[in-house]
Amino acid sequence: MEADRNRWLMALSAVAIHLSIGSVYAYSVYQNPLNESLGWNISDVTLAFTIAIFFLGMSAASLGFFVEKYGPRISAAIAAVLFGAGTMGAGLAVQLESLPLFIGSYGVLGGIGLGIGYISPVSTLVMWFPDRRGMATGMAVMGFGAGALITSPVAEWLMNAVSIPGAFYILGASYFVLMLAGASYMKKPPKDWMPKGYKKEDLQTNQKGGDLAQLSAKQALRTMRFYLLWLVMFINISSGIMLLAVASNMTQSITGTSAAVAATVVGVMGFFNGGGRIVWASLSDYLGRTNTFTLFFLIQIVAFFLLPLTTNVVLLAILLFIIITCYGGGFACLPAYIGDLFGTRQLGAIHGFLLTAWALAGVAGPTAVSSIVSATGSYTLSFYLFNILLVVALAAMIVMRFNIKKIRRNKENESTEAAKA
């Protein structure tokens, strides 16, 4: 069946949505101005970001069925309203000098918009790019990583040129327009649609033999591979986000370098976070998602082992950049991996459930490293702790590999028996 949408424009629409919601990663640019102008404690201001990430994961999990029922266009449009309103509401809160309103607007309302906006376009892209799942979702999720690179200087300029509330108003309105434009083009492909020149049997997925199954979200929750995937995502995100939370201070503490050099390292980490998403996701189309995730943990085990032994700032930075590519790559490969393991029947809902790993890791990773540093005065123990977790994740991927092989073998046996009958 012919499609009435161009799938590359569909990808561009997804990027527009993710660029907007990805601005949440530029949140630190607001911390000092809010502290200096209103006297709000940095910890109180940071709470809004923590709540936003928490509600991102929780809303993605609870509203995944909503996305499946009403489709990507309506879901993404609602995300545009919520995220735009949450950002503009933050401006009103600053104007009224109300911290609870700020947390409620940016953290809760904006966070729910983040969750719906994150899963709506990604699950749709998997359907439009059955031949290049990893690359397609990598483009969109790279937009999420790149959102901070655009918003950070723009927000800084607006706060100086207009005002802090004005910056939130302008940014919120801009996000609303950009997300709504992307949402307006969003649409699932026709049933059994294939790219021109392809037949279903011609498509090369990350697992030989095509998707492992076509399951509903409820059915997926009853499988071992769902929980294995949740576990490896939780560990991968915890490991990356804990470094993002302390990168500047950690670099200074371990290498003795200046704050300016450490800030440069943190800035360049943003490029590797975004770049890792598209590079790893594209590679996963050829390597296979199981092999790609296995590589993530092999690489990070070596990198985390070397971190406490490294005092040279250049070598430390290289290790951080490598780890952060795996962090971003995990997000980018996840939607395609869901399609491989569970099919596209209710991919959005399954994706939402798995993003609860992000919500919990966003609290667990930074909390663990800060607690260890407070107790020991060193980052060394935290590196060893996360290395143990990475070994657990690698073991989980080995179990995943055997689980997939067992399921495929059973399917082949069933097919053979059916043919004989």
pLDDT (mean) for 73-92: 95
C-beta of residue 110 within 8 angstroms of C-beta of residue 52: yes
pLDDT (mean) for 329-352: 90
241-261 residue pLDDT tens: 888 777 777 888 888 888 788
Residue 420 has what pLDDT? 67
CATH architecture of the domain 210-420 equals Up-down Bundle (1.20)
Rounded-to-integer distance, Cα 246 and Cα 250, Å:
6
Residue 349 has pLDDT above 90, yes or no: no
Lowest mean pLDDT among 46-60, 195-209, 240-254, 295-309: 195-209
Q: What are the angstrom distances between the C-alpha of 197 and each of 1, 131, 133, 193?
A: 12, 11, 17, 11
Residue 207 has what pLDDT? 46
Residue 419 has what pLDDT? 65
C-beta of residue 133 within 8 angstroms of C-beta of residue 203: no
Residue 209 has what pLDDT? 55
The H-or-E segment that residue 378 falls in is none
Give 421's pLDDT tier (boundaries 50, 70, 90). Answer: low
175-212 residue pLDDT tens: 999 999 999 998 888 877 777 766 665 554 444 557 88
Residue 182 has what pLDDT? 94
C-beta of residue 373 within 8 angstroms of C-beta of residue 78: no
- The structure tokens listed for 240 are 């990356």
Is the domain spanning 1-189 CATH 1.20.1250.20? The answer is yes
Q: Considering the chain, what is the average pLDDT of its residues?
A: 87
**HEC profile for 122-142?**
HHHHHHHCCCCHHHHHHHHHH
Residues 6+ apart with CB under 8 A from 38: 94, 97
pLDDT (mean) for 222-233: 96
Give 397's pLDDT tier (boundaries 50, 70, 90). Answer: very high
- Predicted model pTM: 0.81
- Helix 224-255 / helix 356-376 crossing angle, nearest 10 deg: 40
Q: Where in the chain is the domain with CATH 1.20.1250.20?
A: 1-189, 210-420
Residues 6+ apart with CB under 8 A from 47: 103, 107
Residue 265 has what pLDDT? 82
Q: Which of 212, 250, 251, 240 is nearest to 362 (CA)?
A: 240
pLDDT (mean) for 386-406: 95
DSSP state of 278: H
pLDDT (mean) for 318-331: 93
Listing DSSP states for 138-164 in one string gives HHHHHHHHHHHHHHHHHHHHHHHHT-H
Residue ranges of E strands in 232-329:
none
Instruction: Please tell me which residue, 120 or 300, carries the higher pLDDT value.
Output: 300
**Which of 25-29, 169-173, 240-244 has maximum average pLDDT?**
169-173
